[in-house]
Amino acid sequence: MSAIRYHLLHDTIYRYTHPVSESRQMIRLSPRILEGQRCLSHRLQIDPLPSRSEDWADSFGNLVRTIDLESSHEHLLIRAESWVELTPPEHTEFDASPTWEHVRDTLAYRAGRALSPEILAASPFCFESPHIRLKREFAAYALKVFTPGRPLLAGVQDLMARIFNEFTFDPEATDVATPVTAVFAKRRGVCQDLSHVMISCLRSIGLAARYVSGYLLTLPPPGKPRLVGADATHAWVSVFCPGAGWFDFDPTNNTTPRLEHITVGWGRDFADVSPVRGVILGAGSHTLDISVTVVPESEFSLIYENGTSIDLMT
């Protein structure tokens, strides 16, 4: 398969019931540059214009823009527009990966043992974090497929399939604050929840797994046109295999990402890669509208009649 290019348009609009006197926000909406993923262009448009802005990289290498708004405003619109090119990854024989017990033992801490830079970099993804728990019930669930001597990546693939088959995608079942233990008990949730469950299972048996945030190309119903704003952000899981790197798995769709998943960032869990996060003074209550459109280059002119994205909406 050859490379494919996508146009991404992500609008975040806050509308406040009372004016906001000051706002400080952290924005993580820039696609990462990776092997197999090139960010050809990226721009952020913000209305009203910030008093100050700064670009930097967080501890996981994600690109972040911090903005300050110091004048009164009744709305905040953040538009991220990008062109990204993906190339298919090389085929990997999951059954040829090392056993999961070998990987667990390689990652385990032992006093006096020097760890390689690769293992040190993977270590933060072995422990609990704000949305991830290490518990016996998660370990027991994972060990149903991680049988003795099972190759690591084959076991991860089976765990992904088990979660896909035994959990129900339900946008009404959870919110961003629902604990992963509650999701596990209900067997219901969205992509964020299923990713947190899978990561909790993997870390509970001593493996390194990280939360990946990005976009997924969705297909309109047969015979229907692609609609602007009909897509959404997506989340999946990446698992560390010593000597080979990180491998992505999508439990929401029971698939290993190839040419439909666009990576924006990763962290220990959702809290590390929230697209927009900050504090405000004033406002009372607010409404939030998010619109995401992922369009293959071949369909771009059909979606945007003028060949470019529309102006900022207020």
Q: Which residues contact 234 (CB under 8 A, 6 or more apart)?
A: 191, 213, 214, 215, 216, 250, 252, 261
How far apart CA 20 and CA 285 sit, in angstroms, is 10
pLDDT at position 231 is 83
Closest by CA to 259, choosing from 300, 290, 214, 229, is: 214
**pLDDT tens, position by position, 40-95:** 999 999 999 999 999 999 999 999 999 999 999 999 999 999 999 999 988 899 99
How far apart CA 224 and CA 221 sit, in angstroms, is 5
pTM over 0.85: yes
Per the CB < 8 A criterion, the answer to whether 309 and 9 are in contact is: yes
**Whether residue 303 has pLDDT greater than 90:** no
pLDDT at position 187 is 97
Structure tokens at 138: 């998660």
pLDDT at position 91 is 87
pLDDT at position 137 is 98
Structure tokens at 43: 């721009």
**Whether residue 191 has pLDDT greater than 80:** yes
For the chain, list the domains and their CATH numbers.
4-87+274-303 (2.60.40.2250), 94-272 (3.10.620.30)
For CA atoms 295, 37, 274, 167, the dihedral sign is: positive
pLDDT at position 283 is 67
Closest by CA to 273, choosing from 72, 83, 98, 129, is: 129
The three-state secondary structure class of 189 is strand
**pLDDT tens, position by position, 12-51:** 999 999 999 999 999 999 999 999 999 999 999 999 999 9
pLDDT at position 114 is 86
pLDDT at position 78 is 97
**pLDDT tens, position by position, 100-128:** 999 999 999 888 888 899 999 999 999 99
Q: Per-residue confidence at 308, pLDDT binned at 50, 70, 90?
A: very low
pLDDT at position 109 is 87
What is the rounded average pLDDT of the residues 143-149?
98
**pLDDT tens, position by position, 242-284:** 999 999 999 999 999 989 999 999 999 999 999 999 999 986 8
Phi and psi dihedrals of 39, rounded to 5? -95, 105
The three-state secondary structure class of 276 is strand
Give the pairing of strands 63-69 and 245-249.
unpaired
